[in-house]
């Protein structure tokens, strides 16, 4: 198997079928004692990354007020 200049590889069809990986499937790489495994996930990685922050805000501002703080005047 060859890695492209973008760091991409093609997962062989028999492996995709065995893992139930279809187009648009979410996968993750899990490391265990120096070996990496491909696992299918049920939610996008971006969701899991920020899940712990969901619902913890204490700011009493509207979305428009918050967005105006992030934009240059």
pLDDT at 40: 85
CA distance 13 to 7: 19
Strand segments (E) across 1-73: 26-32, 35-41
Please spell the DSSP secondary structure of 44-72, one letter per residue: -HHHHHHGGGTT-------HHHHHHHHS-
* Average pLDDT per consecutive 10 residues, the chain (73 residues; last block may be shorter): 92 90 87 91 64 73 84 71
Locate the domains of the chain by residue range: 13-70
pLDDT at 8: 93
Main-chain dihedrals φ then ψ at residue 45, nearest 5 degrees: -60, -40
Q: What is the pTM of this model?
A: 0.48
């Amino acid at each position: 198997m060859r890695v492209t200049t973008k760091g991409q590889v093609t997962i062989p069809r028999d492996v995709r079928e065995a893992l139930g990986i279809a187009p648009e499937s979410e996968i993750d790489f899990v490391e265990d004692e120096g070996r990496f495994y491909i696992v299918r996930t049920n939610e996008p990685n971006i969701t899991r990354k920020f899940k712990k922050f969901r619902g913890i805000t204490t700011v009493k501002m509207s979305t428009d007020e918050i967005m105006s703080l992030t934009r240059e005047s």
